[in-house]
A and B are shown apart, each in its own frame.
Chain A
Amino acid sequence: MAGQTDPSLSIFSGEEVEFMAEDEMVEIVPNMRMDPLNMLCGDFGPFYPQMATQVPLWLAIAMKKRGKCTIRPPEWMSIENLTRILEAERDSQAAFQVLPFHYVEISSLLFEYAPDDIPDIYMVRSLINDIRDVRFHKVETSLESFEEAHSSAVMVKDLSAMEVNLVRPFVGRALQAFYKHGSPELVPNPDGMSARRLQATDNIPRIDWNKFYIAYRLLSHAL
């Protein structure tokens, strides 16, 4: 059907988003000596016991799995910082707090593979889950303002990778529909009724929030 995209061509899978996040740098403290690694994706090390060094997350997890290092959780994952972010997220309906682009993936990978390296993990985990929920609720409500905005573009400031990926199929389609119905040359209108008036008479498709919410739930469970 004209105007529709093939989702398989335009969407990253959860695994692919995670793959991208695994290139983010983290600090590790090795417990063994190892020569520098001169890899395709960069040079890391040398590694000495008790000497902190920066490596990509995938490398940190691989070493952690073999018991060769501890991972230092990034600074933004401290309880103080997360509490502050959660409060700020709740206070402001419009703005999103600045978090790392891959905060969802980084935190869930660390929870899975390095739970013993995160102090107060239960607290940290629940704070991050709360932040995710509050932010996603905000994403949903801010989507309602699409129609008033210039529907040809929407700014999604400070959304994270996973959040963008979750809303992408829906938002992309919705915007495309708005665009299509708002362009006079694409809509056959014999009596010359303008696109603006069409909008005013509320003929544009409404967003099916239930469907959207279910899709989101399914996606977040899948992750």
Chain B
Amino acid sequence: MDSGLDSGLDSGSTEDYETDVELLKRAWRQEKSAPEILQFESALVRRIVEQIQLMEETVEEFTDSGIDPLTVSLYQMDLDRTQFLLRSYFRIRLQKIEKYMFHIRDNAESHLSEKEKVFVERCCADLQTHLEKSVLLQLPSTYQSVFRQSSEKETDMVPRPHLDTFVVCKTNASQRPLDEPFEMEPNVLYFVRYKAVKKFVEEGKIDLY
């Protein structure tokens, strides 16, 4: 049961053997539950995309070679489920990027895939141009920033993820969340502040539900 402690994201779990689809399901669940954008699972996504392509070819061959339609439809369902997971994973990440674009561009760009990086740059540029053209450039020069209310203040107009959001999570081994006066029992669900378990979520030691 404790084997997950030393291994990385790809194997930290109680199961002996996990398919890539299960790993993707977990990545999707974590991404849905976490308030901030998590590290992009590039290796996993690459493998899944390959497997999906391969399966699409296989299903096509099956259809052509007149294999039992039931079998074909079952394979198609399996394919649809995996594609749903992958699309939903991309979509939730894009939603987060759109919501916190400036914050992510400046603080979490390393968490993004190459395509997401391009997307965040373009989002930021477009929104900034839009805001400037429509309003900001008409204002006195001290109020023209997209990022701050007035020139003295810090960047107080940048939407940021709320790390104090409470998340539901579970640990495989006993962990002490940062700054909290208690230990988490293994395999028990808790509502905990995301900030307190953030480090363990990133290390794959705590799963979000």
Q: Which residues of A contact B (CB under 8 A)?
A: 2-6, 8-10, 12, 16, 19-20, 22-23, 34-35, 37, 39-42, 58-59, 62-63, 66, 68, 150, 152-157, 159, 161, 164, 168, 171-172, 175-176, 179-180
Contacts and interface: CB of A to CB of B under 8 A. Distances in A.
A154 B196 contact: no
B99 interface: yes
Given A153-B196, A157-B189, A3 B181 contact: no
Report whether over half of chain B's contact residues are helix, strand or loop; otherwise say mixed: helix
Interface in B30-59: 32-33, 35, 51-52, 55
Interface in B139-184: 162, 164-168, 177, 180-182
B68 interface: yes
Given A34-B68, A40-B82, A9 B92 contact: yes
Given A5-B35, A42-B19, A155-B189, 19 more contacts: A2-B162, A9-B32, A16-B88, A20-B29, A34-B68, A40-B78, A41-B19, A41-B21, A41-B82, A152-B180, A152-B193, A155-B185, A156-B168, A156-B189, A156-B191, A164-B168, A164-B189, A171-B191, A172-B165
B177 A153 contact: yes
Given A40-B19, A40-B52, A159-B189, A176 B164 contact: yes
A56 B164 CA distance: 36
A185 to B, nearest CB: 12
A41 B75 CA distance: 10
A163 to B, nearest CB: 10
A180 B164 contact: yes
A37 B74 contact: yes
B109 to A, nearest CB: 20
Contacts of B32: 9-10, 12, 16
Nearest to B73: A62
